[in-house]
Amino acid sequence: MKGKLQGPVRALGAMSGTSLDGVDAALLTTDGESILDIGRSAYRPYTQAERAVLKAALGRWQDDDCTAALDVIQCAHLELLSDLPEAEIVGFHGQTLAHDPRGRGTHQLGDGAALAEALGRTVVWDFRSADVALGGEGAPLAPFFHFACARWIGADLPLAVLNLGGVGNLTWVDPRAPAPQAEGALLAFDTGPANAPINDLVATRRGLDCDRDGRLARQGRVEEGALELFLAEGYFARMPPKSLDRDDFALMLDLVRELSDADAAATMTAMAAAAVMQGMIHCPHPPERVLVTGGGRKNPVMMQMLAAGLDCPVRPVEDAGLDGDMLEAQAFAYLAVRVARGLPTSAPGTTGVPAPVGGGQISRPHA
């Protein structure tokens, strides 16, 4: 492996997020430190039936029966990744079903060894377990890549990368630091729920997969009482690093249960934005700008709320030349190379682990 991975490496990363929309895959050339080239990408949506299987498996652990969900994950990834054969190594995140780092641990469903055999390529997987075993939160894992992105776009002042996926997470980056694991280079944490509870709301009430373009929220009114109760949740008072499971804020649905569809969507969107605003107070220095990735950047109502509540420009990452649909997939391509080269993938400032640690298993095909 080491002989094959000298110099620039073309890596392929895959990500299936907590929004359960599908699998993203992206090619990246890197030496494990810097981004050298950003390649092509692809997307494979889950069918309605596949999404139902995965949703039914949420909350299950390694000792539960996850056979049907595993079949969905393996088949969807194999189908998509087979169409991108030029990579030397694959970073396979799998599907997070449960995450309780201070309790039962973390569970990313997926069999990297089987995928390596099927693809005939080296696969790096199970990125979070080592961090959790050493006392870290195991999430978020993209911050080391965000540091590389800040360098790639030529940033020279601290900035924030905000990922609004199923759960929201924030990375404060100082690109002037010598390396992502250096003290003061990064601070990262989950801000709170983002798209997942909104998706669940509109799926239950309207049979939709998401509030596309914030159309429903735009028609509603924010219920301030529900918003205040949401912000009283103890999670927001905890110092970072900290992380969440997709369904940790089930109370959101209870708080909007009596509201109309539009008011409920508006209130839950305001909750996601307010969680980010609460999180920003933890940044070591005010960021020069906030670059937003993930599905939430496509919700104009969410973006308007953030712009109104934050004291710096809030822009989609595309404004800096990045791809917000593929940033997480690219992150796992980058992390795969770091794992293969023995470099750390998380640090005290990103997950709270006591010292920088490299996670991930490496599986090679036998043939």
- Segment 258-275, tens digit of pLDDT: 999 999 999 999 999 999
What is the three-class DSSP state of 133? Answer: helix
Q: Which residues pair with 29 in a beta bridge?
A: 10, 37
| 292: its two tokens | 């937003």
Helix (H) or strand (E) holding 43: strand 35-45
pLDDT at position 350 over 70: yes
Nearest to 335 by CA among 128, 32, 111, 10: 32
Domains (ranges, CATH) in the chain?
9-139+330-346 (3.30.420.40), 154-320 (3.30.420.40)
Strand 167-173's sheet: what is its strand order? 186-193, 167-173, 159-164, 290-293, 314-316
| 170: its two tokens | 């924030």
Task: Give the up-direction half-sphere exposure of residue 5: CA atoms within 13 A in the CB hemisphere.
Answer: 20
- Segment 86-124, tens digit of pLDDT: 999 999 999 999 988 888 999 999 999 999 999 999 999
Nearest to 275 by CA among 257, 251, 258: 251
pLDDT band at residue 2 under the 50/70/90 scheme: very low
pLDDT score recorded for residue 166: 85
| 90: its two tokens | 């694959």
pLDDT score recorded for residue 1: 43
pLDDT score recorded for residue 258: 97
